[in-house]
Structure 1
Amino acid sequence: MAVPTYTISGFLGSGKTTVLLKMIEECEKNHRRLGVILNELGDVNIEKPLFKEQNVKELLNGCICCTIKEDLKSTLDEFIKEMHSNKLDLLFIEGTGVSNPLEVKRVLEDPIYAAHFDLISMISLIDSSTFLEYQSIFSSTADMRKLLEEQITSADIILLNKQDLAKEKVLNKSIKKIRGLVGESVPIFQTSHGNVPLSELFKRRNGHLPNSIHSDIREETNHSHHHHHHHSGLHAVKIDPGPTIKKHDLENWLSHLPKAVLRGKGVINLEGSEGLYSFQLASNTLIFEKIPHPAGMRPAIILIGDQLKETELLNSFNRLVKA
């Protein structure tokens, strides 16, 4: 019997990992055995320690939909081998914030893998506080706008997340824009912190999208994306933060990063505090959290953005934080 499989996509900082963790928690309550594939652009995954109890496989240093597509196939092959001795009840695949989920779907629908993995739903998240800005020709590139469109039009269910950070007028304009892309058949849930009835996330939705607009866009994307990837300028920069950091200095540096930086996250050792902390920078919001079980984690800072100038970022960090 094929393993029920879910993909979770969404642009940088939209809340994918938060939703994935909620789904995993629900599965564990019901004693379901899980497999998780996590994809990162850089060579380290800051969030991996959040998945200590699961069978997690990482795809690093590239995007699951292009440069490491073969790695995805190899990882699926590993799960298939493991199924002979360890039963797998569900599989989750979380792409990078710049991946096109349709390419993952193409792999899963290959007869070789369709016999083992049953794609139930493609879940896509949208950050309602930045969506319209990223859709504007004045504040984003054509590639970025196309990438967002691909993530939306591939979805079986859409979570318009972080509504607590957006005004009602912005939310209404966002919904109108999204409806223009996917039609009426794809459900859109307005959420904060990824809170949505879990039953909606686990429903079988793939293959039940009759809307012609949705189908036409998917078909067009299938033919065009194979030859051109819409995130060629987006990449990750890793910074070694050193043994300790003053929180104020880090906050000051992060608040003055260039607009080209679209997402930041890291694991750090704050001066004057015990243990390690994580930070998340998204939607112009910075959040610090103490890591309860930091065993095996090492300090690292990851910045993701468009055409990032690595040397300048390193120099500014050394000047403002390490000094």
Structure 2
Amino acid sequence: MNKTVKKLIPMNVITGFLGSGKTSLLRNLLKLKSMSNTLVLVNEFGEVGLDHEMMERLDKDTVLLQSGCICCTIREDLTSTLSELLDRRFSKEISFSRVILETTGLADPSPIIYSICKGNIIKNNYRLSNVITTVDAINGIIHMNENYESKKQIAVADRIMITKSDINKNNLSEILQNVKELNPSAPIFYNNKKFSFNKVFKEDLFSLDNKSEIVQKWVESEGSKYHKGHIHNTSKHNEQIYTFHLKFDEEINWTTFGIWLTMLLHYHGENILRVKGILNVIGSDYPVAIHGVQHFIHQPMHLKSWPNSNHESRLVFILKKINSSDIVNSLDAFNRLGKVCME
């Protein structure tokens, strides 16, 4: 790396399909001393985002990008945001020596790479240091088989992180085979207790010239690409995938809610790509964060504090081929049943 490039601000991209562990990886990285002067950009799909509130590092160095997918619309927001941050850095309003962008799980990474490498404002001030892709050991095969974005996220990666391998080892050999077919050169790591997170950004690996021919074509085509079939709507990704959210002023009965969510994912998990929530639970002074991906529910996480003054419970769903009204009706039925049982 020459001296001119080395002076540019390193920018790291964390991508990976829905529920593959991007936010968890980012949360662990931000605990490192070497990440103390890092500015974080979080891009979420939908009008209501929760990922940035679950990082437990919410300060002036965390920026929530405009809701939606990073395509031609959000690409403009990424460019303007990075430019604005440069101005604030120059005026000493903020200080940062590295930027990490966590993309939405539905993001096609090609427009991101194009914006950073080809956009004049960005490429003259930032350098794309690494693209890290998380792959879910539980649902990774399904993601790769059913979602083209997942394949592209793996193909462009400089490093690949297999997550949840401690929970499910049954699919590992098949996942590794598929990942290596898509990207034979990227180092593969496992996000487990023995892993040292210092390795993630140890050195710059990104080079468009070293990418496969098809990846280079993806990136180059972004300059004039028309996003066919892609709806620029903060709540819709395409004709099948969309997001919706629920809010509750009343405190949540944890037992009733847990039974409802377990049964919902059991019967409709294939069409619930992700559900995340921050809950105000009866008997708890602090919020409980929940996260489900298709048929799998992660262990609830008790946050140390509320991220802001808003203490209402919030759920954000990303759905495929299922009516949101069916979810609302089932939750209403369970809540009525819970109230009857408590009387």
TM-score range, shorter chain: 0.7 to 0.9
TM-score by length of 2: 0.82
Aligned positions, number: 309
Q: Residues 191-230 of structure 1 correspond to what in structure 2 (within 5 A)?
A: 191-192=191-192, 195-207=195-207, 210=210, 214-222=211-219, 223=221, 226-228=226-228
Give the corresponding residue for 1:167: 169
Q: Residues 1-323 of structure 1 correspond to what in structure 2 (within 5 A)?
A: 1-26=7-32, 29-30=33-34, 32-49=36-53, 50-86=56-92, 87-109=95-117, 110-136=119-145, 140=146, 144=147, 146-168=148-170, 170-183=171-184, 185-192=185-192, 195-207=195-207, 210=210, 214-222=211-219, 223=221, 226-228=226-228, 231-232=237-238, 233-257=240-264, 258=268, 259-282=270-293, 284-294=296-306, 295-298=308-311, 299-321=313-335
Q: Answer yes or no: is the 8 Å Cα contact 1:4–1:118 preserved in 2.
A: yes
TM-score by length of 1: 0.87
1:297 is displaced (CA, Å) by 4.0
**Aligned pair in 2 of structure 1 residues 300, 3: CA closer, same or farther (>3 Å)?**
same
Three-state SS of the structure 1 residue aligned to 2:201 is helix
What are the superposed Cα offsets for residues 210-240 of structure 1, whole Å, 9 maximum, x if unpaired?
4xxx512203433387534675232221011
Q: Distance in 2 between matches of 1:292 and 1:240?
A: 21
What are the superposed Cα offsets for residues 149-202 of structure 1, whole Å, 9 maximum, x if unpaired?
11111111101111112224x20111111111112x211112237944422433
Return the letter of the residue paired with 1:260: N
Three-state SS of the structure 2 residue aligned to 1:120 is strand
Three-state SS of the structure 2 residue aligned to 1:68 is helix
State the percentage of identical aligned residues.
24
Three-state SS of the structure 2 residue aligned to 1:198 is helix
Q: Answer yes or no: is the 8 Å Cα contact 1:37–1:94 preserved in 2.
A: yes
Three-state SS of the structure 2 residue aligned to 1:91 is strand
Q: Answer yes or no: is the 8 Å Cα contact 2:208–2:216 preserved in 1.
A: no
**Aligned pair in 2 of structure 1 residues 159, 88: CA closer, same or farther (>3 Å)?**
same
Q: Answer yes or no: is the 8 Å Cα contact 2:44–2:51 preserved in 1.
A: no
Give the corresponding residue for 2:234: none
Q: Distance in 1 between matches of 2:104 and 2:261?
A: 22
Three-state SS of the structure 1 residue aligned to 2:48 is coil
Q: Distance in 2 between matches of 1:229 and 1:117?
A: 31
1:281 is displaced (CA, Å) by 1.5
Q: Answer yes or no: is the 8 Å Cα contact 1:8–1:124 preserved in 2.
A: yes
Q: Which blocks of at least 5 consecutive residues in structure 1 are unaligned?
A: none
Q: Answer yes or no: is the 8 Å Cα contact 1:153–1:217 preserved in 2.
A: no
